[in-house]
Structure 1
């Protein structure tokens, strides 16, 4: 029904953004709200409307590839819109696609809410069926590791959290003291989670 909308981002929350289009504010749930900025610039957001008997929900994405992968993920048994958002919030679309095509269950189970059964289902349902999404990735050889192996797979989310905390008034010197602790905490997988933990540590330091 909708492909994309253009408007001004007027509010950002940990779960959604508010996008104003012709004096109407649309609530768009998105993988990483902090990828957007509140300003007067007109921003293009790719959207997906999810219809249930009790709700019509809009989901927003920064790229077409992100939106199309979301649509593929919610077709997998055991993955709903919230689960698909969590996967997209924790990894780039290219890395998820690579893992599916290479049948790398060990990589897929790193995502929130994805166990071995769901990872296997993702591979069974989506391998070889991602269509044009395959155009945006270059599959590594079998001898290569996926790009995120050996490093923090949620580095982007951590950096987003650092930027958000700077915007709240914290200095880079203060954040440098807490960042190593955040990098070592494997339980943190989203920008919001990093921010909450950082605030806890910062308050203890005062």
Structure 2
């Protein structure tokens, strides 16, 4: 089983992303591929579910463990396949979906494409009381995702500094400070680094 993929995000398509791992391109189907857009042409970490059937093998990707957990629970419900599970993930957060299950909200569940009353009742029957663990993942996985993104921004800043003529030795002196910066902007990191290097 392929639990995750770590490599260079080379391409984003309407329903999937392509991640290059040492020269091998893995196509990973996602509910919303564009959540990974900030990592394009940089290293990305994607949680995956390896779906194997007699006639095909597919990789499904998620930005965190809680989404992957919900996906695996959904496809265990009779009447819901991977496509249906992705359609749900594309338009709802895990905590909101778990809350709807606990309150047995049929109307909410039948608002998703392909989910009728019978399937909605089956989802409630199979998953009520089983999704609270998914919600517990939230804070930890969100923190990990932010950390991963910050590493990518620092890497982008490093490349920019190299292009400006700074040596590896010089750049290494400011990396620890950049890694502590809480920013979502590469330009801010570059300005901070330049300020430190000019002292």
* TM-score scaled by length of structure 2: 0.65
* 2:25 is the counterpart of 1:25: yes
SS at match of 2:7: strand
1:65 aligns to what?
Answer: 66
Number of residues paired by the alignment?
A: 137
Deviations along 1:80-131, one digit per CA (max 9) or x if unpaired, are 0000000000111111111111111111111121111111110000001225
1:102 aligns to what?
Answer: 103
Which has the higher Rg, Structure 1 or Structure 2?
2
Is residue 9–residue 19 contact of structure 1 (8 Å, CA) maintained in 2? yes
Structure 1 residue runs of 4+, over 3 Å off? none
Superposition map of 1:1-206 within 5 A: 1-37=1-37, 39-130=40-131, 132-135=133-136
Shift of 1:41: 2.0
Gaps of 5+ in 1: 138-206
1:166 aligns to what?
Answer: none
Gaps of 5+ in 2: 139-199
Distance in 2 between the 1:18 and 1:107 partners?
33
* TM-score scaled by length of structure 1: 0.63
Is residue 74–residue 84 contact of structure 1 (8 Å, CA) maintained in 2? yes
Is residue 20–residue 26 contact of structure 1 (8 Å, CA) maintained in 2? yes
Distance in 2 between the 1:48 and 1:28 partners?
9
Shift of 1:134: 4.0
1:198 aligns to what?
Answer: none
Shift of 1:40: 2.9
SS at match of 1:36: helix
Point out the structure with the larger helix share: 2
Aligned residues: CA RMSD: 1.4
